[in-house]
Amino acid sequence: MNAFEGDEAAAIRADGLVKKFKGKTALAGVDLTARTGTVLGVLGPNGSGKTTTVRILSTLLHPDEGRATVGGYDVVRQPHQVRRLIGLTGQYAAVDDELSGTQNLLLIARLLGYTRPGARRRAAELLERFALSDAADRPVKTYSGGMRRRLDLAASLVGRPSLLYLDEPTTGLDPHSRNEMWDVVRGLLDDGVTVLLTTQYLEEADQLTDDIVVLDHGKVISRGSPDQLKARAGTQVLQVQPVEPGELDRVVGIVELVSGSEARTSSSTASAAVTDPAVLPEVVRRLDDQGISVAELTLRKPSLDEVFLALTGHPADDVPSDTTAPAFERTHG
């Protein structure tokens, strides 16, 4: 029975989750929904409550208030049923460094009740799928960071979960390994798995997720599709640095006029969110008209910090957790 009637499409549903650690609020009422067969991204900086949310949804931690269901099962009252549905990877992966990739997966498969030949087959299949066959018999301690993450992921897939939690699966990986991990996550969706993925990277959420909730100090400050979020934050950032620092004010004027958004300055650089890349030639033309030489002129993706600034009006790490009510419009997706 689904505890939230009329919402069968929701694989995960959390309502008003509150969690305090020794009086310090980690979650201040988190609501989220992951639709079956999609990827829900939980985007937020360090300390925003991502892992606490994942731990509650995986039954490892009880909420102080609120409730959550996974596959219709209540995470507090029906933890065994919930655990049967989920695979969990991230900081909890129980991979043993001294064992080989194969040995690790065999151990897990046997714990999950596979027969010996069944376990062998499953281990080989997963190692192959995650491009670890060549390293299958080496101890995990010899693996690179990217290989280790892939083994973590393989380990959480042994039991064929219908739901998978990926807690910052690419944090600390080099760009190449990150791309490999992204491909792996995309592959999971072809299997119909529902994924909850936490990340600090807007680009990662953009690449991999269908819906995003943005967490800040234990609260959902924004939610929507990646496109909706980027539209709210500006899709790109225009950054201009004049050769002469004294010309920064005039640069700010041009940037604001052309982008239509408020510019920020840092030492000698002006930047502003832009939604239309066609502003670039227009900026160049106006700078040229005014005889301003530039040391730098770039159009780049917004950082998470800039997204936060756009969504909240404050930088990600700038505000103590228990201050004022948020000064932004909260949307429900």
Ligand X SMILES: Nc1ncnc2c1ncn2[C@@H]1O[C@H](COP(=O)(O)OP(=O)(O)O)[C@@H](O)[C@H]1O
Site for ligand X in 20-49 (CB under 6 A): 21, 24, 26, 44, 46-49
Q: Classify the C-alpha dihedral 57-61-63-69 as positive or negative.
A: positive
Tell me how far, at minimum, the Cβ of 164 lies from Mg ion, in Å.
16
156, 89 in Cβ contact below 8 A?
A: yes
Quick one: 48 or 58, whose CB is closer to ligand X? 48
The answer to whether the CB of 50 falls within 8 A of the CB of 215 is yes
CB of 39 to ligand X, least distance (A): 18
Using the minimum distance from each CB to ligand X, give the nearer residue, 45 or 139. 45
Does the footprint of ligand X cover residue 91 (CB under 6 A)? no
User: CB nearest Mg ion: which residue?
Assistant: 51
Cα(69)–Cα(58) distance, integer angstroms: 10
Minimum Å gap between C-beta 49 and ligand X is: 4
Burial class of 266 by CB neighbour count within 10 A (0 to 12, 13 to 18, 19+) = exposed
Partner that binds at residue 21, options Mg ion, ligand X, none, CB closer than 5 to 8 Å by kind: ligand X
| 209 near ligand X, rule: CB under 6 A | no
Phi, then psi, of 203 in degrees rounded to 5 = -65, -40
> Residue 320: which residues within 8 A CB-CB, separation 6 or more?
none
How many residues bind ligand X (CB under 6 A)? The answer is 11
Question: DSSP assignment of 84-107, as one string?
Answer: HHEEEESTT----TTSBHHHHHHH
**Do 40 and 195 meet the contact criterion of CB atoms below 8 Å apart?**
yes
Nearest residue (CB) to Mg ion, 256 versus 305:
305
169 binds, among ligand X, Mg ion, none (CB under 5 to 8 A by kind): none
Phi and psi torsions of 210, nearest 5°: -95, -40
Instruction: Please identify, using beta-carbon distances, which residue of 52 and 104 lies nearer to ligand X.
Output: 52
Q: Which among ligand X, Mg ion, none contacts residue 87 (Cβ within 5 to 8 A by kind)?
A: none
Question: Environment class of residue 43 by beta-carbon count within 10 Å: exposed (0-12), middle (13-18) or buried (19+)?
Answer: buried
Whose Cβ is closer to Mg ion: residue 47's or residue 139's?
47
Of 49 and 326, CB closest to ligand X: 49
Q: Which residues bind Mg ion (CB under 5 A)?
A: 50-51
CB neighbourhood size of 249 (10 A): 10
Q: Taking CB under 6 A as the criterion, which residues in 48-77 touch ligand X?
A: 48-52
Site residues, ligand X (CB under 6 A)? 21, 24, 26, 44, 46-52
